[in-house]
Chains A and B, each alone.
Chain A
Amino acid sequence: MNTQIPALSVNKLTKTFDVSAPWLNRMIERRPKLFVEAVSDISFTVEKGTCFSIVGESGCGKSTVARLVTGLYETTSGDISFGKGAGGRPIRVQMIFQDPHSSLNPRWRVGDIIAEPIREMKLRDKETETQDRVRELLETVGLSADDALKFPHEFSGGQRQRISIARALASEPELLVCDEPTSALDVSVQAQILNLMRRLQKELGLTYLFISHDLSVVRHMSDNIAVMYLGKIVEKSAVEVLFTAPQHPYSKLLLATIPDIENPARRVEAQAGEPPSPLNPPSGCAFHPRCPLAMDICRQERPKLQDLSQECQVACHAVS
């Protein structure tokens, strides 16, 4: 599927949030303004028809990237550009959210939820055509056409996530941004949704930007992976490269600590340390306080993402 046509290119993307105390408090207590750099100077390209995943722990900025790409946040600096889609217009983007309970309006019927983007973007001329499209979409995601008349509360978590996917597909997107689409679901239902997403990718030629903290899911879905730590990409590799030979010490730590059901009771050495606060990031390489390979240069200079091979880029002084 590797056609080498970029669907999405992100270049030097940075997003800072103003987390200052209210103006009056700042004046009285003489405190300065406070900013958090949630995403800091990251670049990546997603090729058409592939799945690019971003993994990392909570607070590393992976969901912020998803929201920046879909335009839910404005960028602070850097740019996001979309490739050409069908008919020469820019690629359409849609998003699937994590929690299928709060992302569907409980007062709307499922049919209206899915029809809204079609009506809003005037993708069909007549109402009957819209209804036909809704029925078709419901069947595509494995629900029955009659479900259009029901309300979201009548469905289980997995079925609601199918409804979210149908709604996302309604505007005929070519790039789907999926922010933890299965982490609110049970394992047996998660498998159903992952299989559905893979099938849709094949049938509709979709491109995925997949955000997750679950490495086994990421391994199943993706072609390329970026590992994020405290707002920066520390390693960017093809999936097989990352899982067989992780380079960055943080990727190694992540892979070593995830429980492996195929090797029960292997008694891993739990590594000490926790992700630092993004408000007060460590100097140099943000990972150096936890890193077993940390050297003097790691404390002073922030490493750049460098090519290690064609399929692997690492930001680490000790490795490259």
Chain B
Amino acid sequence: MASRFDIRRQTGFTTIAMICFFALYLPIVTLVVYAFNSGNSIAIWEGVSLRWFYQAWNNNQVVDAAIRSLQIALVAATIATIVATMAALATTRTKPYPGLGFKYAFINQPLMVPEIVTAVALLIFFSRIKIWTGYSGLGYLMAAHTAFCIPFAYLPIRARLESMDLSLETAAADLYATPWKAFRRVTFPLLWPGILAGLMLAFVISLDDVVITEFVKSGGQDTLPTYMLGQFRRFITPEINAISTVFLLISILIVTVFFFISRKKDQE
């Protein structure tokens, strides 16, 4: 028998893996469990109840923040995905040229620049514009979120484009498709799962953002994460756990939906 090196056979492998999984999931499980606590504490168990879910649902601040979060995420993810799709097409459907690497870096800048730096820069920049224009609506948050969502949308779209067989587009052109028709009938349908992945990723990233939002938001513009952060400065109740649990469920739902869509696409 040829005994190839198999990491699963190494002593302690299972133990290490179990520890990693516990470290990752135990806190989350605890959080979810205490969302159903009937008492006022996030650490002392008193009994099962849905009271904190009701309370969060009836808390206007929570509901407003949640709606705001969804609005921003929807707008930011949509615009970011459109921009990212165009950027991905422009950077893959071309012969490599000097400066292309620089462009990749430029597009992915938000992944590399510390978020706090961007946040401070945006705070200063937007406060000037606020003074000049007098506008202080959600537009600033949407613009900021769009900007940092672009690289997250860009990566899966570019990956999809790079793995796509270029001869398909050549074949479309050979069969009398103009460049626009070739894009619409061949490139776009094949790219669609990548675009969807980009959209989902951008949506989740926007929904989740704290640092930039905290700096850029005006008064009364809390999103769900910044609202929750604000709550921690006061007395913490399992209401936070309840909100987090719903948040978690939404994320799982998005990922699951995407998983099934992309699996269906691949089977075709």
B is bound to A: no
Which A residues fall within an 8 A CB radius of B? none
